[in-house]
Amino acid sequence: MKLQLFRNATLKLDYADHTLLIDPYLAPKHSLPSFTGRSPNPMVELPVDIEKILEGVELVIVSHLHEDHFDSVAKARLRKDLPIFCQPGDEDEIRGAGFLDVTPLEDHATWNGITLTRQEGSHGLGPVVDLMGSVMGVSIEAQDEPSIYWAGDTVLYPPVAETIRKTAPDIIITHSCGARWDGDLIVMDAEETVAVCEASTTAAIVIATHMEALDHATITRQDLRQLADARGISMEKLRIPADGDVLVLNRA
């Protein structure tokens, strides 16, 4: 499999001879409002042209409808006939943007030999969850490919830990910028990402994404690497790609 991080949570996955796009956030730098007053968002440009990002895409997965995961540029630029999987409850809004093939991922679904399984997530804990709304993670599996658990916009809480324990994925993709809303943590920070590394199997690879793109983030890539080094987490175990980086990973 080949995985490319573009920016924030936007990923392109070449997997089982198909190409998937995850959480497309394609807006130009500084074209959207700030979350904190510190800087307009996104804080960085895309590393490649949008045409290159969309090239070859056959399936789109949208974890939730926050603008930094499915924005107006993505809605305008994606082909309207592309199949989209989303969490239940988001399908009507996506169809309202003109998309013709939208499937809520209730539990399991199989698309061209790739099995998608919806996993629980919590966009923070406590009262902030009502403000953030529902989110999902997704497990991705196919024959002769490494199994993937993409956790999505979630903090580390018991259902996430249980998914890691129960599914023992080869690859875990975290959102790790430590974003906060009114002081409440709404995605994993460095401590929680390192805890994911420690909770996963020895052979599993953790890939930290959703970093250094939004102004409510509190953790940089360097912060995460420093904590991982202090806790004995190797660079092979925890990958922290820069925007534009391509990772080629095979089944163990």
pTM for the model: 0.97
Q: For 120-151, what is each residue's pLDDT tens digit? A: 999 999 999 999 999 999 999 999 999 999 99
Whichever domain contains 233, its CATH number is: 3.60.15.10
pLDDT of residue 250: 82
Judge whether 185 lies within some domain: yes
Mean pLDDT of 222-229: 98
Judge whether 249 lies within some domain: no
pLDDT of residue 120: 97
Judge whether 251 lies within some domain: no
Q: What is the DSSP letter of 9?
A: T
pLDDT of residue 223: 98
Domain that holds residue 173: 2-243
Statement: residue 251 has pLDDT above 80:
no
Mean pLDDT of 27-54: 97
Q: What is the DSSP string of 1-48?
A: -EEEEEETTEEEEEETTEEEEES---PPTT-B--SSSS--B-SS--SS
Statement: residue 220 has pLDDT above 90:
yes
At 252, the pLDDT band (50, 70, 90 cuts) reads low
Task: Tell which phi-psi region holds residue 138, choosing left (phi > 0), alpha (psi between -120 and 50) or beta.
Answer: beta
Specify the number of domains making up the chain: 1
